[in-house]
Every structure is written in C-alpha cells, then in structure tokens.
C-alpha cells in the first residue's frame, strides 16, 4: 500500500490548457512538497505546504489537511512545463513518502 | 549558492565491483538521505542520517552501505551484494532555511552495471 497516491499517472495537454494534478496521502504529515523532475533527472522543489494555498507564477498548490489531499494546478500550460511532477509528504521523524509521479507532456 | 553536489553523474560498473557515489552539501542541513529511483516507481529510501556519525537503514538497504563522518558528506557504497544495482540514485537533505523546512535534491547519479 502506497502512503501517497497521485493521479493521473500520465497527462497530455495542449499548450495553454489548465492542468490539475492530484495527490492523496494516508499518513500524518507536517508538510507536503510538490517536486518537479525534468528528463535527465534532477529534482527541484516547487512548493512546501502545511496549510492553505501557495502561488508561484503560473503554478498554484493547495492542500486540505482534513481530507488529506493536495492539488497542483498549472495555468496557461507551456511545453517547458513538460516534466514529471512528484508529491512528497513529510511524516514523523523527518521521514518522506513519495508518490510515483505524474508525467506531463504539453504539446505546442 | 548552497546546494547538493552528487558525483559522478554517470557510472558504469562491472559485476562484482563495489562503487561509491559521492554526496556533498553546503546547506548546513542535519538530515541527509539516499534514494533509488526505478522507472515507474516512486523514490525508495536506501539510508538516511539525522546527525553526524549516525544513520539508519531505509526500506531497501540490503547491498548498500553509508557513512556520515562529516555533516556535509554522506557517501553511498553500492556493494557487489546488491543484486540489481542499475538505477538512478538521488541524494537529498532537509533543514531549516529562513524559518521554513526545505527539501533539496542533488542532480543524481546514474549507475549501470555491465
């Protein structure tokens, strides 16, 4: 059983579309991270959330602690947004649990 | 700029050889982690260390070893006992920056067994 579930696994969008990636988790957490991984491997942290909503440019992340659910939204998607997006939660003792990732392809 | 440096980026190993992957951070973070990433799977924890001279096994520690002699360094050795070592290895660290807990990854090391 995975502590973190993401959906969808794969997503293809036309440039300009609004995109939503969902993350549900089953453990108690102190924070949730949205990560981005481009081909070639390095992972970058996009957001760290413990409540509410954060916005950075065209990216918006929300979290509902009661429902154990988070969403990552991309407005006006662009081909450079093509990447794997990974949801990670920080549990007790600085342990992290990771989703399997959502592979996003944005077509021009 | 602070960050994590992993080396080498690509590594080829013959069966039966041990190899060591380097992970160095200059963020002054206490906790460091090694993860393995295989296609279609989430990151799996190999080892982690919360403090110098202390480390704990993760979910898939068999065939791997680590040391934490300095705060900034957490090398991973892939031993010949690891049956399927071909994978992408990521080092990470976490700590407080400007009052917020941050999680930082290195660029990764891709190991291929020939």
Judged by CB atoms closer than 8 Å, whether chains meet at A45 and B110 is answered as: no
Judged by CB atoms closer than 8 Å, whether chains meet at A48 and B42 is answered as: no
Distance from CA of B7 to the nearest CA of A (A): 13
- pLDDT digit string, tens, across residues A2-31: 899 999 999 999 999 999 999 999 999 999
Query: CA torsion angle for B20, B22, B28, B31 (degrees, to 10)?
Result: -40
- pLDDT digit string, tens, across residues A53-80: 999 999 999 999 999 999 999 999 999 9
The pLDDT of residue B1: 64
Before A8, cis peptide (omega within 30)?
Answer: yes
Distance from CA of A57 to the nearest CA of B (A): 19
| Residue of A41, A42, A48 with shortest CB distance to B100 | A48
Q: In chain B, whose CA is at the least distance from the CA of A86?
A: B42
- pLDDT digit string, tens, across residues B103-112: 999 999 999 9
Judged by CB atoms closer than 8 Å, whether chains meet at A42 and B45 is answered as: no
Structure tokens at B28: 């002054």
Closest CA to A77 of A18, A22, A35: A18
């Amino acid at each position: 059983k995975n502590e973190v579930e993401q959906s969808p696994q794969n997503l293809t969008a036309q440039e300009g579309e609004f995109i939503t990636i969902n993350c549900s988790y089953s453990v108690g957490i102190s924070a949730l991270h949205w990560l981005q991984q481009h081909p070639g491997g390095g992972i970058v942290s996009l957001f760290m959330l413990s409540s509410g909503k954060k916005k950075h440019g065209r990216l918006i992340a929300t979290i509902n602690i009661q429902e154990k659910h988070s969403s990552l939204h991309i407005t006006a998607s662009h081909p450079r947004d093509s990447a794997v997006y990974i949801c990670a939660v920080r549990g007790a003792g600085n342990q992290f649990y990771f989703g399997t990732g959502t592979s996003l392809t944005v077509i021009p | 700029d602070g960050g994590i440096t992993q080396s080498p980026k690509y590594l080829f190993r013959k069966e039966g050889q041990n190899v060591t992957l380097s992970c160095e951070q200059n963020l002054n973070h206490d906790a460091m982690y090694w993860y393995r990433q295989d296609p279609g799977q989430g990151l799996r924890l190999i080892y982690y260390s919360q403090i110098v001279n202390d480390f704990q096994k993760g979910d898939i520690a068999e065939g791997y070893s680590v040391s934490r002699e300095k705060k900034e360094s957490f090398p991973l050795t892939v031993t010949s006992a690891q049956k399927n070592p071909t994978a992408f290895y990521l080092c990470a660290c976490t700590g407080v920056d400007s009052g917020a807990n941050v999680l930082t990854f290195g660029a990764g090391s891709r190991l291929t067994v020939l």
